[in-house]
Amino acid sequence: TGLCLGLATSLLLWMAYFPLAWGWLSWIALVPFLALVRLDLSSKALFCCAYLSGSAFFWPALQWMRVADYRM
């Protein structure tokens, strides 16, 4: 369940940026992440879920760079 909460945050944050640009969604995008932090998990599992969810947001969010210049 922890990884699902992290991935839900990643998806919601991604939807707040360029291709969809639903900025209003950023107000509720961190709610699943806050629920993840409140789970009774070991520190290692919590950091792993947080790292994976951050990576799942970061790499797709970089796609806006290809719009800035055709060489990217």
54 versus 66: which is more confidently predicted? Answer: 54
Q: What is the pLDDT of residue 72?
A: 65
Split at pLDDT 50, 70, 90, the class of 36 is very high
pTM of the model: 0.81
pLDDT at 9 over 90: yes
Q: Which long-range contacts (CB under 8 A, 24 or more apart) does 56-65 make?
A: 56/6, 56/7, 56/10, 56/11, 57/9, 57/10, 57/13, 57/14, 60/14, 61/13, 61/14, 61/17, 63/18, 63/19, 64/17, 64/18
66 versus 15: which is more confidently predicted? Answer: 15
Q: What is the pLDDT of residue 60?
A: 86
